Amino acid sequence: MVSENHDHTNLNSRYLESHYFEILNVVLPQKPLGEKHLEILYLLLKSPGITIYGIFNKKRNLYTYTTSARRHVKSLEEMGMIEIMNSKYKSTHTNGQNNEKNPYELNTNGIFFLILNNLDSIMEFELIYSLLENYGSNALLEIYLYPFIKRNTIIGLKDDHLSSLVFEYLKSVCNTIVSSQKDIESLIYQVDDDNRILQELFRWPKEIEYESIIPFDPQVLRNYLIFKYDWTWINNAMITPNYHDNAVLIYDDNNPRNKIRIVIDIFQHKAYLRDRAKTIDGFCIGKQSDLFLSINAPTNETDTEFKMKFLFHQCETHLQSFLLKIDKIAKSNPDIAAAILKENSCRKTCYEENDPTNKRLYD
């Protein structure tokens, strides 16, 4: 039932980054929406690409004049719930309105809102299938659903129980994403100029007299050098700070050739790993207190990926519950069981292996 493994390098990085951006920047209205606003949202769910005039024609029971429909559409656009349609979401369901000047569609905010505020007037089955058929490339689905069950599998089965599980899972994910926004803002970390997360290697006193207050701990630096350069000799090397020269000496007593140092340029806010006169690596000096400097190395993880990984782990229990429930109904439903077999793919028990921020994604 899980999508086959795919590396992110096969995808356009800007496309992937835009998906992450949408999820991390979901904004929902603070006040309840009126009936006419909701009717427009549900209409755009079923018929993306419809224009203001098309909305007026389909909702004549709500509107006497097109100006009223235009006012509600513009209001939803200003709230960030809908947008003028572009090539991001391809759909054949344009109801003949695709040549109109401004065809509208839901955006990720609008999709989140409908999932979280589903009315009795539209069944979960209808909402899920309209979403999959008309907004199948949305970030929510591609990141949180398709790695675990393919879009065509859900559409092909047209099973009420399965669609109810999908809806329940996506609603839980949306709730968690929205409620986690303040937690994301409170995360403490540093980034470099390329927006990569920085790892602190060690702290360095700003003044020599602070030496006793800021003890030198070489363990993170040691692990970093072993991992990045595969220098096994570092395991037994002496790593000694020289505060007078703003340098860290790293040497192997058993082999004099194994000798490197880190030079800290406090004024340039840089540090350099050097093998004699040759510069091997560069570090940056991050945010600092009144007492110490933080000597940091960039990781391979960007700020956006870090936040997405946080969200993914926040949603982990929802996913595990969803997968267990699918397993359960598959045992009693031969059609679902056959679809799982046809996909010829094994679900991984380890959640992180399916994490899109860990280079696992969808078709």
- Among the ranges 6-15, 46-55, 94-103, 352-361, which has the highest mean pLDDT value? 46-55
More confident residue, 100 or 224: 224
Mean pLDDT computed over every residue of the chain: 85
The pLDDT score that the predictor gives to residue 278 is: 94
The pair of three-digit structure tokens given for residue 249, joined into one six-digit string: 């000496």
Number of H helices, E strands in the chain: 14, 9
* CA 43, 44, 47, 50 torsion-angle sign: positive
Q: What is the 3-state secondary structure (H, E, C) of 21-45?
A: HHHHCCCCCCCCCCHHHHHHHHHHH
pLDDT tens-place string over residues 154-192: 999 999 999 999 999 999 999 999 999 999 988 888 898
> DSSP letter at 3?
P
How crowded is the C-beta side of 11, counted as CA atoms within 13 Å? 20
- Distance separating alpha carbons of residues 34 and 38, to the nearest angstrom: 6
pLDDT tens-place string over residues 281-292: 999 998 677 888
3-state secondary structure of 121: coil
pLDDT tens-place string over residues 7-25: 333 345 666 788 999 999 9
The answer to whether 274 and 260 have CB atoms below 8 angstroms apart is: yes
Residues paired with 282 in a beta bridge:
272
Residue 276's region, left for phi above 0, alpha for psi from -120 to 50, else beta, is left
CA-nearest of 316, 307, 361 to 23 is 307
- The predicted model scores a pTM of 0.80
